[in-house]
Amino acid sequence: MISVRDLSHRYPDGTEALDGINLTVDQGEAIVLLGHNASGKSTLLKALTRLIEPTAGAISLDGTAVTGATARELRDVRRRVGTVFQSINLVDQVSVLSNVGHGSLGRTDNPRNWFAWTSSSTVRDEAMVCLERVGLAPFASRRADQLSGGQRQRVAIARMLMQRPTIVLADEPVAALDPRAGREVMDVLWQVVAEKSLTLVCTLHQLELAEAYGDRVVALQRGRLLLDGHMRDLSRTDLAGLYSEDSEQADSAENSQHDEAGVNR
Amino acid sequence: MIMTTRPTRVTSAPPSRFRRPHGGAFLAVLVLAGLAIHGVSRLDLSPERLLMAPARTWDFLSRGFPPATDRVPNLAEAMLETIEMAIIGTALGVLLSLPIALLAARNTTPHSMIHVAAKSLLTVMRSVPDLVWAMVFVVSVGLGPIAGILTIMVDTIGFAGRFFAERIEELDRGPIDALRSTGANRISVMACAVIPTAFPSFTGTSLYCLEKSIRGAAVLGLVGAGGIGVELNVAFQLRQFDTAMTIIIMILIVVLLAERLSSVARKRMLDGSSAVAPH
């Protein structure tokens, strides 16, 4: 379960990246986070595990207070949070199986598990199960850079599963993929999350994907919560309004001002 | 008909074609020129010396050919020692340079003071010429190949350590952040993300170091640090130019072979993306 209360983050130049966000995501719930570039989506995801420090507010993940947590507590929290990145972030020079095995590093801390060819049978078997789950078991011995973009993102999902998380944060997981591969990745992500009753926050740009997969939609604009509702209660006009020119200009103005300040959101 | 158009009248004058040199740069050129002129004046370049040089070179070449091929079996042993010194010294140097590079790179160092200390160590190792290191090690451990191996090791650490550290600093942050986000500790992140990502570059640099070490090892014997250089020194001192020529040709063949093999190995490694990764 994710609980966010009055969360704010202000950059040193004074830009409000997040402004008084209140959000609760129940255990096993999957939400889609929508908004323009620079609307605060990625900042919110990073703030959840304190990869950036909130200026104000409180965050709790599965009952553990993240804000105010010690370094050790924070590491424990991060172990339980699986992340799927837009840029995929596999280690290209090693095998697919090794990459999936890396998901276990946080909980095992055993140098034997650094590489798939030295790791224990338990870890290898579990990694194979995760690969089977994303439909890529036959590719276990391939180098990661030999796979297509969609396959690589599915390997990243298998690595996330290997971590045995309770919460999954997916930051625009299909932004770099073609529509077909994007659908495949979204199918796999939503299925594994549902099977294991994981809590999911997934940022997206594509409205059609949000409509297809999102049960609950949360939208941000200029760091503020603009919309929080179930898809069945929202009209197409509500969603389209999120990406209107006015809305885009509002976020872009913030963004360019922020870029000039030399701060990377 | 060719149409020519007159430029429109400009109100501002274009900038000067030549810029006045910066005072510091002008002074630096003057100092360098002064040193060069002073150096030439100390060379004792008499017309007699210049006139005798072609005759002396011809004397060396005429006495050098044909090379003393009957000495090849004996010299081959010294050549083998040179190659072995280069391999052992480079291997030790590459192994030791890796942890130093991890401490020297800004993105993997545990502390900024350690970063400065590791970088300074690499600079010292790299800045002192290898023949000077060889003389130091000859004093420390005595004449012979051990001094040569230590020299090559230190030279390799200075060179490879710097390039390894620079490569680590240029790495894509993505895989590193991904492993950090799983809660993996610092050493695991280095072993699983930093080193594999930089590995092709590390191997290329290591092969270049080996090539450089073989070239360098051939002359370390001139100061008594073992290898074929010892034989070369003796041959010149005894004016056995046919033996010296044999050694020079042997060094040339070995260095060219090492360069070729290193180049082929680097190319294969770069094409290695088609290879099956260890699993």
Query: Which among A125, A119, A121 is positioned nearest to A102, based on CA atoms?
Result: A119
Is B177 in Cβ contact with A91 (below 8 Å)? no
pLDDT for position A257? 46
Domain boundary among A102, A134, A164: A164
pLDDT for position A54? 92
Any domain includes A170: no
Q: How many other C-beta atoms can be found within 10 angstroms of the C-beta atom of residue B74? A: 12
Task: To the nearest 10°, report the CA torsion of B269, B167, B155, B266.
Answer: 10
The answer to whether residue B278 scores a pLDDT higher than 60 is no
Any domain includes A184: no
Q: What is the DSSP secondary-structure string of B135-198?
A: HHHHHHH-SSHHHHHHHHHHHHHHHHHHHHHHHHHHS-HHHHHHHHHTT--HHHHIIIIIHHHH
Is B192 in Cβ contact with A85 (below 8 Å)? no
pLDDT for position A252? 55
Is A93 in Cβ contact with B196 (below 8 Å)? yes
Question: How close does chain B come to A145, measured CA to CA in Å?
Answer: 7
* Domain shared by A76 and A114, yes or no: no
3-state SS class at A220: strand
Residue-wise pLDDT tens digits, B8-25: 666 777 777 777 778 888
pLDDT for position A55? 93
B277 near A CB under 8 A: yes
Please name the residue of chain B whose CA is at the shortest distance from the CA of residue A110. B188
Over residues B92-107, mean pLDDT: 94
Nearest CB among A76, A95, A106 relative to B182 is that of A106
Mutant choice from A73, A105, A139, A147 vs B, greatest count of B C-beta within 10 A: A105
How large is the ipTM? 0.81
Considering only residues A253 and B83, tell me which one the structure prediction assigns the higher pLDDT.
B83
Q: How many other C-beta atoms can be found within 10 angstroms of the C-beta atom of residue B232? A: 23
pLDDT for position B122? 95
Residue-wise pLDDT tens digits, B28-54: 999 999 999 988 888 777 788 788 888
3-state SS class at A31: strand
Residue-wise pLDDT tens digits, A24-65: 999 989 999 988 888 889 899 989 988 888 999 999 999 889
A149 near B CB under 8 A: no
- The second-level CATH assignment, the architecture, of B80-270 is Orthogonal Bundle (1.10)
A81 near B CB under 8 A: yes
Mutant choice from A102, A115, A145, A162 vs B, greatest count of B C-beta within 10 A: A102
Please name the residue of chain B whose CA is at the shortest distance from the CA of residue A169. B181
Query: Which residues face A26 on adjacent strands?
Result: none
pLDDT for position B276? 46
Nearest CB among A49, A87, A95 relative to B277 is that of A95
Residue-wise pLDDT tens digits, B141-151: 988 889 999 99
Domain boundary among A130, A164, A198: A164
* Domain shared by A43 and A97, yes or no: no
The answer to whether residue A263 scores a pLDDT higher than 50 is no
**pLDDT band of A246, cuts 50, 70, 90:** low
Residue-wise pLDDT tens digits, B197-253: 998 889 889 988 998 898 888 888 888 878 888 888 888 888 889 999 999 999 999
Domain boundary among A129, A144, A164: A164
Any domain includes A7: yes
Over residues A108-124, mean pLDDT: 86
* Domain shared by A221 and A241, yes or no: yes
3-state SS class at A20: strand
pLDDT for position B222? 82
**From residue A204, how far is each of A31, A36, A228 by CA, in Å?**
10, 9, 15
Q: Whole-number mean pLDDT of chain A?
A: 85
pLDDT for position A249? 58
**pLDDT band of A91, cuts 50, 70, 90:** very high
Residue A233: both structure tokens together:
């209660």
Over residues B260-264, mean pLDDT: 86
Residue-wise pLDDT tens digits, B121-137: 999 999 999 889 999 99
* Domain shared by A160 and A95, yes or no: yes
The answer to whether residue A108 scores a pLDDT higher than 90 is no
- Say how many domains are in chain A: 2
Rounded Cα distance, A46 and A12, in Å: 17
User: Angle A24-A26-A31 (CA atoms, 0-180°, nearest 5)?
Assistant: 75
CATH code of the domain covering residue A5: 3.40.50.300
Is B273 in Cβ contact with A114 (below 8 Å)? no
Identify whether the C-beta of residue B228 lies closer than 8 Å to the C-beta of residue B79.
yes
Is A145 in Cβ contact with B188 (below 8 Å)? no
Is B188 in Cβ contact with A90 (below 8 Å)? no
Domain that holds residue A154: 89-164
Residue-wise pLDDT tens digits, A218-244: 999 888 998 888 877 777 666 666 666
Residue-wise pLDDT tens digits, A29-39: 999 998 888 88
By DSSP bridging, strand A56-61 and strand A64-65 are antiparallel
Please name the residue of chain A whose CA is at the shortest distance from the CA of residue B198. A93
Any domain includes A101: yes
Q: What residue spans define the domains of chain B?
A: 80-270
